[in-house]
Amino acid sequence: ESKTWTEAQSYCRKTYTDLATINNMDEMKKLEDALKDKTQDFVWIGLNRGDTGKWGYSLPDRNFYTVDDKDQNWRNGEPNNYGGIEFCVAMYKQDGKWFDDNCESKHTFVCFDDKLILIQQNLSWAGALRYCRENHVDLVSVHSEEIQLWVEDVAQNASTDHVWLGLRHTCTLSFWFWMSGDFICYDNWAPGNGTDSEDCSPVERTGAVQARGDQQWVSLPENQTLNFICIRYEG
């Protein structure tokens, strides 16, 4: 279905997260793969010329952010702002190259969906785990610095100072583990947190991330009530 750039953005924000963003060549490759079966020659992406006149993305709940020159993928001669009215960006399916176009032109489009979702309800750790498993996939597990950066981005919009992760301590065996079943290889504990010998009285300890500041992990009693982050889909 063809829409203007603004109509496409509104649709994506209502149904998914936003129009497609391309921050690096890995994301470009994924988008090209997603377009293989589509018949149209080009599609809208989320890039536009913001109030500053620079090319960037305008995502909900985040400030407009610009795209580094090295990550831009313009076709030769683009952007040319033909007629002085080309403020939005479409991508050629054939080669993944970008061109600027009139935002009122109608093209098909590609949306993206954030893998993580912040739930702004205050629940105990067990309540958060149950909510994520019933409504999404699981409480988030942070296996790498890349996932940590995603978590930091999502957590900063929390209404609590800390946000639950899928991280739990077993007093019986004295170690921390992820509810996904994985051991902790990557870690980002705040000083004085994450020791194997946790104080288990009166309740078990569970892991949360600081919503702001250094955004490191902390050990908290499982009966505290906090916002939490769910994984929305596997893979």
The band of 36, judged by pLDDT with boundaries at 50, 70 and 90, is: confident
pLDDT score for 24 = 62
pLDDT score for 58 = 65
* Closest by Cα among 85, 71, 60 to 25: 71
Lowest mean pLDDT among 49-58, 130-139, 205-214: 49-58
* CATH number for the domain formed by residue range(s) 5-112: 3.10.100.10
- Measured CA to CA, the distance from residue 3 to residue 96 in angstroms comes to 20
Helix (H, G, I), strand (E, B) or coil at 8: helix
Query: Taking the domains of the chain in order of start, what are their residue ranges?
Result: 5-112, 116-231
- Measured CA to CA, the distance from residue 56 to residue 65 in angstroms comes to 5
Residue whose tokens read 């739930």: 119
Averaged pLDDT for residues 168-184: 88
For residue 25, what are its two tokens?
């060549």
Superfamily holding 116-231: Mannose-Binding Protein A, subunit A (3.10.100.10)
- Measured CA to CA, the distance from residue 164 to residue 224 in angstroms comes to 10
Averaged pLDDT for residues 44-49: 91
Q: State yes or no: cis peptide before 79, omega within 30 of 0.
A: yes
Name the pTM for this structure.
Answer: 0.61
The band of 26, judged by pLDDT with boundaries at 50, 70 and 90, is: low
